[in-house]
Structure formats: structure tokens, C-alpha cells
Structure 1
């Protein structure tokens, strides 16, 4: 195929700028710019752009050589993708082997292999991963899902283009065929979204639910592809400019107005129309004629960022996790500045000294004096990653993690032991039971089969939460979990449901009449009781014979008394901090519900953890690792206690 310098398309600085601006905004979203709630949709723009650029080059190759060198195409893609990916994977693998939480090493080892095989998106689906959930144990390779989708598409796109060229003679018909195919995948996505059993991960990570954007990009590439007979088609400049502005405005509107769980993005073609808007913007910026919209994306810094966009994407997510879920000193600005600086430095070093030399001259550009094939250079790197992922990680779990075989000490002297029943039981609640179930010590209790019906960051109450940051409604994944946990309970066959009380219940909620609901308010407390009634009814209707309610232990509120958050909470939600530290009123309400409900039983976690007040450690093991969630080291201890409580009631 003709090299880039001999291409009929030339270079488009505005497209570099587009990549740079959108990647910077996408990174800002991850580093804490929450007002960009729809920035996740920028991934679709990159899919459209990728499909467009690749297809144009394939069309040009087909025209100039009368064929497409498929193997050559794969090699060029490998040169572009693999060097930077191997570098990032090597660093992540070293971290996982040496410093990662030990109970997560086997799981993350599998992530490394899935990334190498470009199937990370399907692995995340299998794990029901919540991209927008709690980032406490977010996988460092979660972002590799996009590479999986792109590389899966790259496997078939040469054959798709060749098939269209051979079977469909008319350019417009080829474009319409691709748009129709994208439309069919959109209908399929809506069909999946309508099913109660479809999890959010399936919609968000699926190749079939995301491929519409790549198909729209391919359609645009065919529409604007060079042919010897027609050259490159051109619309009137006025139309190109107007359509470009329409595309830009539509993208910005999505970034600001939707959130990750906006239903119509999946159920009513939102992803499809967003991709069309991206295609209009890309078409305008790819046009060689001068226009006002192109000037927005031509600043040198934007173009420089654009040339680093792939490397920035690879490195910014691990850096984001390195800075922690709360950022640096709780400051979004400081977190963003440091995150951008570290990510940009790593991306520049990778691009300058690894990716670009390989892209221009192959492995010989890195080692000009050594006449060795690329495989001989990258083989040790790949071998290290594979060996660590397949051998070291699964066998290195610590005795205090989920793979432990050493029975932990008891919490209380008189606690009952697990007798093997119940074998199957389900856990319902927020991220606290979710993490406990994910970290379940299976080797200690092989007979027990906990079913995870909990959901990260989700409230038991179906009412907006009133926080110091404003009103926070339940997001789509939470609502979906509320609607589907009953069916999943029935499918699991679990005869017992364990419902975990949450500090969120002590927080203010917006009542149906718009007022503020707090503990002590009879209407709000009645709302909590009614919620537990509905849970009980759903559980019994789906096969559960018993409902066990775990009350809330004492904790230490994280913010200092002189902090702005603490002072604002005391003003807006008097009593919340005290209730978080020692939930006397909430636990009393839960006990009242249990005493009046047949088949309900109370599991008194508060008395076990806090017999005489808060304890930071039990048997020398830290209880909470972040003030809210039980630490990985304490998890086996808690499971021994909890299973004993369930057995005593069986």
C-alpha cells in the first residue's frame, strides 16, 4: 500500500487536534471533572475516527493495487498498537506481581492475558464489571476493553471492505449498506437493553453493542475514499461547515447532558445518532479546504496531544488508579494537574522512544545494529507478562486473602461455626456486601455458595440522595439491579437472602413531596420500612424462605471536624455524622422491622464488631481499609463469623 507521504488524502492537522482536545477532556473526566458526565461517549467518536481512517486507506490500497494485502494490514496494525501496549502491560504486570492486593492477583492476572488476546471487553462482561462503580478495586486494565473491540473489528474490516467493493458497485449503495448494518446492531442493542436479565456491563462493553460507531466510521471512509475514477468526493464547503458545526454541538451536548446510564442511549438509538454526529464533525475536519471550525482544533498543543492520544489513553487509567479514588488531598484541580503531568510524561516517553521508531522503521529502528526480528526483541517482554499472569499470580495469594487456607481467629468467643448449611444464599446491598462476596474465601468454605446480588454505589431506597454535592438520583445500573435481583435470586436457587443495612440509609433523601427525609422523621422512617417490606415480598416470591438483615456496625467518619465537608454536613444533615459513627437509631429501626416481619431474622454485626465501642482492629487485623469497606485481610474473619450466624439460624 502507498505510504502515508504518498497518500492521496494528505495530512489533516485538525483531526490531530480533534483527538487531542477530546482525549484531554476524556482524561479530565476520569481525573474528577464530573460535570462532563457524558464524556464516556467520546470513546464512540474515537471508534468512528478509527473506522474512517482505516477504511480510507484500505479503499486507496484497493484502488492502487487492485487488492488488499490483509497480512500487511495486520502487520501495520501490530506496529502501531503493540509496542505501547507491551510497555504499559509490562509496567502493570510488575505492579500486579509485586504490590497489588494479594486477593486480586489471580483475577488481574487473567485480565493481563485477556488484554494480550484483545478480549478484555468480554472478560469484563463475564465479571459483570461496573465501569462507573466504586473504583476501590478497579482493575488496572479495565480500559483495555476498547482495544479489544477495535482489534476484533480490525480482524474483519479488510474482508468487509473487499466484500463491499466486489459485491456492491455503487459507492452510495455501499454507504447505505453499512449504515443499515449499523442500524441493525442498534436495534439489537435496544433488544438487549429491554431484557431484564441484561446487565449494564453487557450493554457497555459488548462488541455488538459498540460496533455501530465503527461501522459508521467505515461508511464515512467509503463515502470519502479516493478512487481513480472519482477522486475524493466533495460536498459544497458551506454544507461541510454547517454539518461540522452540527456534529460538534451534538457531541458537546452529549458530554454535558447525558450520564453513563441514560437509558435512551441504549434503548432508542442514542449511540447510533451520537456516532452520526461524530461522523459529521470528522467529515468537516478531514476536508482540506479552510473553514472556521477547523481553526478550533489547530492549536499546536491540541495537535501535539492528538499525536500522543493513543499513548495517553494507555497510561492515564493506571495513573488515575494510582492517585486513588479520592484523588490528591481531595482536590480535583491538584489531582488533574498531577494526573495529566504523569500521564503525559509516560505517553511522551513511550511514543518518542518506542512507538514512533517501530512505526517508522520496525524493530530495527530501536536496535539498528542488531539484525533480529521483532519477535526476538519483544518475546522476553511477552514471556514475562504471560508467565507472571499464568504462574505467579494464581499461586501468590496471601493467607489473609480470598485464597487463604488458614482459618482466621474468631471475632467473639462464643460465635457459632459454619455447619455447611445454608449452602446457597444471596447477598443484597451496596458496595460493602459486593466486595465481601467478591473476596469470599472459597478455599476455607468450599460448601458455601454466596450469590452476589449487591451493586456498587447503590442505595436500597429508590429515592434521590441529598449530599453536600447536591441531589444524586440512583443511576441506571442501580435501577436495573432493583428490577432484576429478584429474577436472579430465583435463578440461583438460594433459599436465604442476606440484606445489608447501609450508612446511606442514615443520609438525607428527597421525599416524594420534595421535602428532606432524615432519620427521626416518621415519614422517612416509614419509607425505609416500606422498602424492606418490598424486599421481603420480592425475596419470598422468588424462592427465599428467610430474609436475614445485617445491621450496621460503628465506623469512623473520615472528614476532620474542622473540614468544610464535616461542617456542611452538620448544618444540612444534623446527626448524620454521629449516626455514621454509631448507628443507634438506624439499627433500632431495622430491629423493629425484623421483629414485626415473619421469616425475617436479625444478624447483629454491630454487637460483634463494636461490643464496647469502635475498634480499629480485631485480633491485630485492621477492620476497615477506607473507613467504610471491610479490609481484604479482615474479610475471612468476617466471613467465618457471618457463616456461623447463618448456620445457627438454618
Structure 2
């Protein structure tokens, strides 16, 4: 295939600048720029850009050679992707082997192997990983999910391009076929999102739910691909410029307006239309003619940052975790400056001394005098990663969740055991019961049939939440769940409803009169009691004979006392941190409701987990994996206890 310098496309500095600007904004989002609440969608722009650039090169190769060297394509992608990835994986592996918490090593060892196999996105789905929730012990390779999706797509894109060229003679028809495929993927995503059983991780990490962006990029690559007969198609410059501004405006609007759980991004084609906006911006910047919008992305620093974008992506996430969930001294600015500096240094060193030499001359460029093959350099690195990761894989002695067949130890010496009844019961609440139900150890308790009526990121109260980041209303999926859980309870036939108390109830809410509702405020506490009354009425009306209320265990608030988040919470919501750590007032309120409600029963999880204060681990197993949710390893232990409590009350 022709080298880049001889390509008909030439080099586009503005596209380098686009990568640089968007990567900088994406890093700022991770380092604490919370006002960029929709910056997560920038990943889709990179997918579109990747599909566009790769497809154009494949089209050019097909035109100049009358074929596509698939193996050569794979080798070139390997040269581009693997050197930097191996370097980052080696550092992460050393950390996991030497310094990582013992209870997390097995899980993170599996992450290393999943990253090497480019299936990390599906591993995160299997773990029901919460991208926007796990801050304290987030996996250091969580960001490798994007590499998995891209490499999975790279496996098929040469054949996709060859198939289109052979079967569809018209350029416009090829583009329409790809856009139609992206549309079908969007419809499939909406269908998945409509299923109550579909978790957020499935929507966020799925190859099928993200592939529309790559297909749109491929469509753009074919639309602007060079052919010997037509050259490179050109639209009128005025149209190109206008479309570019529209694309830029749509991206900026998404960055500022949506949040991680904006449901229409999945249910109504938001991802698809966002990809179209990205394609319009890329179309404008790829055009060789001078335009005002291209000047925005041509500053030298932006272009330099863009050339480092892959390396920056690899390193910035581990650096972000290294700086801790609270950053440095609770300062977003200081955290950002230090995070950018460390990430940029690591990215530069990796790119300058490892990635670019291999990309230009293969592995021999690293050690030209020795003339050793690639295996001689990378084999020890890969062997170390694989061996260490394999050693860290879970064993049968460390049950990790739904597939375990080893009965876990009891939480308390006197806890009752599950007798087989109740067989069917429903779980209602936020992401805590949702994850517990998704990870239910079916092989241990085949008679039990928990029904998941919980919803991720959702509050029991139908009032906006007041956080340090502003007012957050319930997203669409939460409101839908509020309106439908009763009907689903009736359909399930469950005679018992288990309602989980949540730390969200201790957080400030906006009252109907616009005031701030806090625990200790009689009106706010009455609102909580009325909410539980409505839950009880809905449950009884839909076939539940009993309502079991699980109270809230003690936890450890994640932010340090000297952090900005902690100080702001103490000012705006006095008592919240103390209540999060030990929810005495909230549990007292729940106990009061249970005592005054016929058919309601209290399940005292607080006393079981925290008999004499907070415990980080029980029976050697970490209780919470992120300070809020029960760890997958502890989940079977908790289910043994909970089922025993339900049996004792049956």
C-alpha cells in the first residue's frame, strides 16, 4: 500500500488539532471538569474519525492495487496499537502484582488478559461495571473498553469495504448502505434500552450499541475516498464550512447539555445523530481548502497534542486513578495541571521512543544494530503480563458472584438459613439492589427467583436531587420505572417486595415549594414516609402480601475531609457525610415507618454489617467495591444472609 507521504489525501493538520482539542477536553472531564457532563460522547467522535481514516486508506489501496492486503492491514494496525499498549500494560501489571489491594488483584488480573484479547468491553458488561459510579477502586484498565470495540471492528472492516466495492457499484449506494446499517444498529440499541433487564453497562460498553459511530465514519470514508476515475469528491466550500460549524455546534451542545444517563441518547437515536454531527465536522476539517473553522484547530499545541492523542488516552486514566478520587488537595485546577503534566510526559516518552520508531520501521527501528525480530523484544513483556495476570485469576476459593458454587461463610454466627421460601420475591430500589439481583448466585440458591424491579441511578423519591454539581432530576428511565414497577410486580407473581433504603434519602432534595429538604426537616421526613406509603399501597394492590424494608448499612464517605467536595457538602448539606457513614437518623425513620405499617417488616442490614462500627471486609472479603455498591466477591455472602432473613419471616 502507498505510504502516507504518497497518499492522494495528503496530511490534514486540522484533523490533528481536532484530536488534540477533544482529547484535552476529555482528559479535563476525567480530571474533574464536571461541567463537561456530556464529554463521554467524545469517544464516539474518535470512533467516527477512526472509521473515516481507516476506510479512506483501504479504498485507496483497493484502487491502486485492485485488492486489499488484509494481513498487511492487520500488521499495520498492530504496529500502531501494540507498542504503546504493551508499555502501559506492563506498568499496570507491575502495580497490580505489587501494590494493588489483595482483594482486587484477581479481578484486575482478568482485566489484563481481557485487554490483551481486546474484549475488555464485554468483560465490563459481564461485571455490570458502572463507568460513572465506581470512583474509589475503579479498574485501571477500564478505559481499554474503547480499544476492544475498535479492534473488533478492525477485524471486519477490510472485508466490509471489499464486499461493498464488489457488490455495490455506486458510491452513493455504498454510503447509504452503511448509513442504513448504522440506523439498524441504532434501532437495536433502542430495543435493548427498552428492556427492563438491560443494564447501563450493556448500553454503554456494547460493541453493537457503539458500532453506529464506526459505520458512520466508514460511510464518510467511502464518500470522500479517492478513486482513479473520480478523484476525491468535493462539495462547494460554502457548504463544507456551514456543515462543519453545524457539526461543531452539535458536539459542543452535547458536551454541555447531556449527562451520562440521558436516556434519549440510547432510546431515540442520540448516539446516531451525535455521530452524524461528528462526521460533518470531520468532513469540513478534512477538506484541503482554507476555511475559518479549520483555523480553530490549527494551533501548534493542538496539533502536537493530537499526534499524541492515542498515547494520552492510554496513560491519562491510570494517572487519574493515581491522583485519587479526590485529586490533589481537593483542587480541580491543581489535579488537572498535575494530571495533564504527568500524562503528557508519559505519552511523549512512549510515542517518541517506542511507538513512532516501531510505526516507521518495525521493531528493528528500536534496536537497529541487533536486528532482532519483534518477538525478541515484546515476547518478554507479553510473557510477564500474561503470566502475572494468569496467576492473579480468581480461583474457586474466592467466589466472585453469580457463577460461584462454593457456599460462602456466614456474616453472623446466628443467622438463619434459606429454607426454599419465599421462592419469588421482588427487589426495589437504586443501583445497590439492582447489582445484587443481577449478580444473584443462582447455582447456590436455585429455588430462589428474585425479580429485579430496581433501577440504576434512580431515587425512591420523585423529587430533584440537590448535589454539589447542581439540581439533578430523575432521568427518563427512572420515571418509567416508577410508573411500571407495580405492573411488573403483578406479572412476576411475587408475594413479597423487598425495598432497599438508600443513602440518596439522606441527601438534600428540592421540595415542592422549592426549598431544600434535609433529614431533620419534618416536611422532608414526611415526604419520605409518604413515599414509602405509596410503595406499600402499590405493592399490596399488585399482589404483594408483605413489604420488607432493608435499612442502610454504614459506609465510608469517599472524599477526604480537606477536599473541595467534602467542604462544600458540609456547608450545603450539614450532617450528610455523617449520615452516609452511619445512617442513624435515616434508619430510625425507616424503623418508625415499619412499626406503624401493617404487613411491613424490617430487615436490619445495618446491625449485620456494622455490629460495632464499619467493617471494610468480612471473612476476608471486601464488602464494598466502590464505597457504595457491594463487591461481586461479597455478593454471595450477602445473599446467603438476606435469603435467611426472608425465610425466617415467611
| TM-score band w.r.t. shorter chain | 0.7 to 0.9
**Alpha carbons of structure 1 residues 51 and 621: separation in structure 2 relative to 1, 3 Å:** closer
- Contact map agreement 1:105 1:397 (CA 8 A) in 2: no
Distance 2:305 2:238 in 1: 29
1:462: how far off? 2.9
Distance 2:488 2:129 in 1: 16
**Alpha carbons of structure 1 residues 609 and 178: separation in structure 2 relative to 1, 3 Å:** closer
Distance 1:11 1:283 in 2: 14
1:6-36 deviation digits (Å, cap 9, x = unpaired): 1111111111111011001011111111111
1:429: how far off? 4.2
1:102-137 deviation digits (Å, cap 9, x = unpaired): 333333333223222222222322333222223233
**Alpha carbons of structure 1 residues 538 and 62: separation in structure 2 relative to 1, 3 Å:** farther
1:591: how far off? 1.5
1:380-402 deviation digits (Å, cap 9, x = unpaired): 33333333333432249779999
**Alpha carbons of structure 1 residues 401 and 195: separation in structure 2 relative to 1, 3 Å:** closer
Distance 2:492 2:148 in 1: 31
**Alpha carbons of structure 1 residues 568 and 252: separation in structure 2 relative to 1, 3 Å:** closer
1:268-287 deviation digits (Å, cap 9, x = unpaired): 22222211211111111111
1:555: how far off? 6.5
1:80: how far off? 0.9
**Alpha carbons of structure 1 residues 606 and 223: separation in structure 2 relative to 1, 3 Å:** closer
Q: Does 1:317 align with 2:317?
A: yes
**Alpha carbons of structure 1 residues 431 and 588: separation in structure 2 relative to 1, 3 Å:** same
- Contact map agreement 1:172 1:223 (CA 8 A) in 2: yes
SS at match of 1:450: strand
- Contact map agreement 2:550 2:604 (CA 8 A) in 1: yes
- Contact map agreement 2:137 2:626 (CA 8 A) in 1: no
- Contact map agreement 2:330 2:564 (CA 8 A) in 1: no
Partner of 2:35: 35
**Alpha carbons of structure 1 residues 516 and 2: separation in structure 2 relative to 1, 3 Å:** same
SS at match of 2:463: coil
- Contact map agreement 2:519 2:585 (CA 8 A) in 1: yes
1:64: how far off? 0.9
Deviates more, 1:160-169 or 1:381-390: 381-390
The answer for unaligned runs of 5 or more in structure 1 is none
- Contact map agreement 1:460 1:531 (CA 8 A) in 2: yes
Deviates more, 1:613-622 or 1:2-11: 613-622
Deviates more, 1:376-385 or 1:361-370: 376-385
Partner of 1:386: 386
SS at match of 1:289: coil
Distance 1:569 1:94 in 2: 37
- CA-based RMSD of the aligned residues comes to 4.1
1:228: how far off? 1.5
1:514: how far off? 3.1
Deviates more, 1:255-264 or 1:635-644: 635-644
Deviates more, 1:96-105 or 1:395-404: 395-404
1:463-521 deviation digits (Å, cap 9, x = unpaired): 21123442122345655765787799899998765433233212221134433333354
TM-score, normalised to structure 1's length?
A: 0.86
1:605: how far off? 4.2
- Contact map agreement 1:506 1:519 (CA 8 A) in 2: yes
Deviates more, 1:152-161 or 1:101-110: 101-110
Partner of 1:398: 398
Distance 1:382 1:534 in 2: 57
Distance 2:80 2:626 in 1: 40
Deviates more, 1:166-175 or 1:425-434: 425-434
Matches within 5 A, 1:392-541: 392-395=392-395, 428-430=428-430, 458-475=458-475, 498-536=498-536
Distance 1:181 1:489 in 2: 37
- Contact map agreement 2:103 2:622 (CA 8 A) in 1: no
1:211-254 deviation digits (Å, cap 9, x = unpaired): 22112211211121111122222222222222212211111111
SS at match of 2:559: coil
**Alpha carbons of structure 1 residues 314 and 534: separation in structure 2 relative to 1, 3 Å:** farther
SS at match of 2:362: helix
Deviates more, 1:522-531 or 1:604-613: 604-613
1:42: how far off? 0.9
1:642: how far off? 5.6
- Contact map agreement 1:312 1:344 (CA 8 A) in 2: yes
Deviates more, 1:351-360 or 1:190-199: 190-199
Deviates more, 1:269-278 or 1:556-565: 556-565
Deviates more, 1:126-135 or 1:51-60: 126-135
**Alpha carbons of structure 1 residues 137 and 239: separation in structure 2 relative to 1, 3 Å:** same
Deviates more, 1:272-281 or 1:517-526: 517-526
TM-score, normalised to structure 2's length?
A: 0.86
Deviates more, 1:109-118 or 1:487-496: 487-496
- Contact map agreement 1:400 1:633 (CA 8 A) in 2: yes
Partner of 1:611: 611
